[in-house]
Amino acid sequence: MQRREVLMGLAGGAAALAGCKPGAVAQPGGAAASARFEWRMYTTWPKNFPGLGTGAERLAERISQMSAGRLKVTVYGAGERVPALEVFDAVSRGSAQMGHGAAYYWKGKLASAPLFCTVPFGFTAQEQNAWLYYGGGMALWREAYERFNLMPFDAGNTGTQMAGWFNKPIDTLDDLKGLKMRVPGLGGEILSKLGVVPVNIPGGELFTALSTGTIDAAEFVGPYNDLAFGLHRAARYYYYPGWHEPGATLEAFVNLDAWKALPEDLQVIVQTACEATSHTMLAEMTARNNRALTTLVTEHGVDVRPLPNDILAALKVESEQYLAEAAKAEPLMARVAESISQFRDEMIRGTAIAEHAFLNARSA
């Protein structure tokens, strides 16, 4: 592909960056209906990692199939072309046309990025989608990523995660002090207020880090993914709930030049494939997390425990304070935080009356 791009010369440069094949040069404002495109998708997940990597594969397949091959997307797992945490930059500069990951990995580049993934004590998956599609969230996300020459999409959700794996019981706030824990995003910021030393490392490196004692604790996703990484062999105590990631959105993002070069029908196909992937990934996670949790307990003897109420209460206080403080630091961050805060207040009332009351009645 690179050699072809060179051969196309200056006139075809924009089309090459956009992944448009030679002989079908993109027209201003979009490509001819006959144009064919070959895109690379870099992901932050190991190739075909359960739920997340397979979700990215399914997304690529859907786009290729729905477009009858006019837009062919090839997926590269973490480390195949670029390391997991360089995917955002690679797509931003056009080395790949598309990426799949989680927005909280990009906190160092964009303060508001984690808020588009999940917020501690924030939204469940259902509420998160409500905010993105009907609460103004998606418009803010697009505005945030535009400065990086990227177009974001909701392309997955993990559902409510677990609090994480610990190599010792967590009974009191003192037990958190000095604990070196893999916990990216805002969860790490908030735990640091309670004395935890947060570390951000990609999922694929978690088992080694936890089993060798490089870190004392780690959160990744939930039972399905954590079982696949063998984290139950690296730590004994598995805590819940995932207060820090109550409904984490997985994202796709597209290089804006590549996006603009697509004809409208292919744009709709990309968008629709992302939405469909979000839907099926959540369904898969929900079904398989429950089965994997049973396996962890019955076959591997994992000690599953709730975080003590006073620790959750302290985390909630720190979460609210952190968001209020962080919002002052950056104008866009302030607008996103305000949007989430307002929408969450509405959701808390409605969810308590509908889902919460129902779930309590069902499990009683």
> Which positions lie near Ca ion, rule CB under 5 A?
161, 219, 245
Indicate the residue among 245 and 251 with the shorter CB distance to Ca ion: 245
Indicate the residue among 189 and 245 with the shorter CB distance to Ca ion: 245
Write down the least CB distance from residue 336 to Ca ion, Å: 20
Indicate the residue among 20 and 206 with the shorter CB distance to Ca ion: 206
H/E stretch holding 306 reads: strand 303-306
Q: In what order do the strands lie in the sheet with 180-182?
A: 197-199, 180-182, 217-218, 164-166, 237-240, 303-306
Nearest to 221 by CA among 196, 199, 250: 250
Burial 254-279 (b: 16+ CB within 10 A, else e): bbbbbbbbbbeebbebbbebbeebbe
Indicate the residue among 306 and 331 with the shorter CB distance to Ca ion: 306
Write down the least CB distance from residue 220 to Ca ion, Å: 6
Phi, psi angle pair for 212, to nearest 5°: -90, -5
Residue with tokens 């030049």: 257
CB atoms within 10 A of CB 338: 13
Write down the least CB distance from residue 156 to Ca ion, Å: 13
Indicate the residue among 154 and 245 with the shorter CB distance to Ca ion: 245
Burial 300-320 (b: 16+ CB within 10 A, else e): eebeeeebbeebeebbeebbe
Quote the tokens at residue 342. 């307002």
> Which residue's Cβ has the minimum distance to Ca ion?
245
Quote the tokens at residue 248. 């984490």
Indicate the residue among 148 and 220 with the shorter CB distance to Ca ion: 220
For residue 268, give every residue at least 6 positions away whose Cβ sits within 8 Å of its Cβ, in sequence order, or none: none
Write down the least CB distance from residue 248 to Ca ion, Å: 6
Write down the least CB distance from residue 254 to Ca ion, Å: 24
Write down the least CB distance from residue 45 to Ca ion, Å: 12
Indicate the residue among 88 and 259 with the shorter CB distance to Ca ion: 88
Write down the least CB distance from residue 181 to Ca ion, Å: 11
